[in-house]
Chains A and B, each alone.
Chain A
Amino acid sequence: MVHRERRSAGKGLEFLRKNYFLYILLAPALILTLIFKYVPMYGAIIAFKDFSPIKGILGSEWVGLKHFEKFLSSPNFDVILMNTLKLSFFGLIFSFPVPIILALMLNQVRRASVKKNIQLFLYAPNFISVVVIVGMLFIFLSPTGPINQFVIWITGEPLMFMSKPEYFRWIYILSDIWQGAGWASIIYVAALANVDPELHNAASLDGANLLQRIRNIDLPTIRPIMAIVFILAAGGIMSIGFEKAYLMQTSMNLPASEIIATYVYKVGLQSGDYAYSAAVGLFNSVINVILLISVNFIVKKLNEGEGLY
């Protein structure tokens, strides 16, 4: 027993002596992850405490679910939760199909150079920052902006796009599609490039028209990718786009634009109510995980057992 332990310890040392360099290479990533990812996960327990900066996270008093109860019973709760869910849900439903349609259409462009150029343009907005995108929205949709000049020409009245809550979601989602759809189509375009042209030839000889060939050859090819993209998008449903929603907020559109993430930022970092804000953030993450797991489950059922995990 003793003998064996000594031997394995010797082996371990020998192993380390031989492979220490690999551990040196791994160390920075591991240490940074432990500090900046796992310490905050532990720090999330302040959601269950009355955080006092003097006592620190460990020394602060436990208060159980007090902060969660406060959030769930606050008059804002329904509105903020529904805003978050609506923005994410509609965003997912409307944004998801566009890249697929784009890719299917791009796949029909014969000339490689033409296809390349179209892609070059469609990808460009992906490289514009969210600050600039929102800045452009404010410019284009201002009461005197180009879009309203058109609106005035038709109706005689400018539309207050950025200050009416009922427009917020549309502007958010449509601009998201404008910015991201082209780029998101890359992965489908690449998958479609692998389809054997002979398949199309054979189907065409059998009398299948273009629409039928797309439905029966192209679509099944990209279906597994569609499933994965959908699950990933649904998993990030509660966390995506916080920065944009925050930038697009005006005091007037708050009834639609206040989502959990912007609320966490305001309550926590602007008002300094750390514990309560952390509780709201934790609530958000929990919903997120539940969504990820259930969407994965549903897609697995629909997709013949193929899910993300």
Chain B
Amino acid sequence: MAVKHSRFDRFLLTLIGIFLTLAVLIVVVPLVYIIVASFMDPTVLLSKGLSFNLSDWSLEGYRKILSNPAMVRGFGNAVFYSAAFAFVTVTVSVCAGYALSENRLAGRHVFMTLFIITMFFGGGLIPTYLLVRELGMLNTVWAVIIPGAVNVWNIILSRTFFKGIPNELKEAANVDGASDMRIFFGIVLPLSKPIIFVLALYAFVGQWNAFFDAMIYLEDPKLHPLQLVLRSILIQNQAAPGMINDQLAMAELKRLSEMIKYSAIVISSLPLLVMYPFFQKYFEKGVMVGSLK
């Protein structure tokens, strides 16, 4: 704290302040633009630009997007896939991580090597797709949840965590005659809430934002998660079926599809952006623990 700042230092610190302010603006301005634009009529937006005048605002975009069955279903699917995926991948990784953390597990180096190899080598898109098809998982929710369930990174993280649990705890329970199962469910798991929480958070966010597996494995639009619905609205410029009446004039159709883009972005991104500040320290913890390895 006693660092003395020369004039050059103060100049540099000012420069740093300016750059950081600019960086924050570069990040924030596009987000604010989208949010404000989501309340505006696209024709007004085009002619006048952004308006912070509340009388120029309307909720039409939100009404349209919230009454769109594909969007609502996509939202529901995304919640389900994300929760189910988080549950499966955390369960699998934490169990494996615990087993691998025990020194008495014979062959643990072999198992660990088997897992780590898959971080660097893979069969590739086509063989994986053919396998999923062969297993009859095409067009089922399993295709989104199961093939990616084993996450080596998660296994390493939880193994590192379990190694930090003092052995005395387990030994004491062992002396009292508790079985491995009792020790795992009664002592180890209750102590592992932090790691379970961090891994689940990451898995949920990852799956919420994913679209690729769903795109290649799920043909039925009823099964599509939010991101696939968004893709058709934002990138393929298709207002989802049932959203817009066919008889509407082209211009009106175009106006509506422009309008719902903004509100679709806000509705899909807001849940994560709102909750992430509350969980920021856990996300940071996840990165930090991950970097230890």
Contacts and interface: CB of A to CB of B under 8 A. Distances in A.
B128 to A, nearest CB: 4
B99 A124 contact: no
Interface stretch (A78-86, A163-171, A262-270, A298-306): A262-270
Interface in A104-146: 105-106, 108-109, 118-125, 127-132, 134-136, 138-140, 144, 146
Interface stretch (A2-10, A20-28, A68-76, A251-259): A20-28
Nearest to B183: A21
A109 B20 contact: yes
Contacts of A42: 123, 127
B227 A129 contact: yes
Contact of B234 (A125, A138, A144, A277): A138
Measured as residues with beta carbon below 8 angstroms from the partner, the interface class of chain B is 35 or more
A182 interface: yes
Nearest to A191: B291
Given A22-B99, A204-B4, A209-B8, A281 B124 contact: yes
Q: For B130, B216, B284, which residue has the most chain A Cβ atoms within 10 angstroms?
A: B130
Contacts of B28: 121
A232 B2 CA distance: 38
Interface stretch (B59-67, B192-200, B242-250, B273-281): B273-281
Contact of B96 (A15, A29, A121, A140): A29
A201 B105 contact: no
Contacts of A265: 125, 216
Contact of B24 (A38, A118, A264): A118
B136 interface: no
Contacts of A21: 179-181, 184
A108 B16 contact: yes
A289 B119 CA distance: 11
A152 interface: no
Interface string A154-185: 00000000000000000000000010001100
A39 to B, nearest CB: 6
A28 B99 CA distance: 11
A204 to B, nearest CB: 5
Contacts of B13: 108, 210
Contacts of A36: 128, 131, 146-148, 150
A287 interface: no
A13 interface: no
Nearest to A128: B269
B160 interface: no
B212 interface: yes
Contacts of A210: 5, 8-9, 12-13
Contacts of A139: 34, 234, 261-262
B120 to A, nearest CB: 7
Given A41-B121, A136-B265, A28 B92 contact: yes
28 contacts: A21-B179, A22-B98, A22-B180, A25-B96, A25-B98, A26-B100, A33-B114, A33-B115, A34-B114, A35-B131, A44-B123, A105-B16, A109-B16, A118-B24, A123-B276, A123-B280, A124-B276, A128-B209, A132-B234, A136-B265, A139-B262, A140-B30, A204-B3, A210-B8, A264-B126, A269-B129, A278-B124, A289-B121
Given A42-B127, A122-B27, A132-B234, 4 more contacts: A22-B99, A26-B105, A46-B130, A129-B227
Query: Sorted from nearest, which 9 A-B pairs have the closest CB atoms?
Result: A40-B123, A135-B234, A43-B127, A29-B96, A129-B209, A281-B124, A21-B180, A40-B127, A26-B99
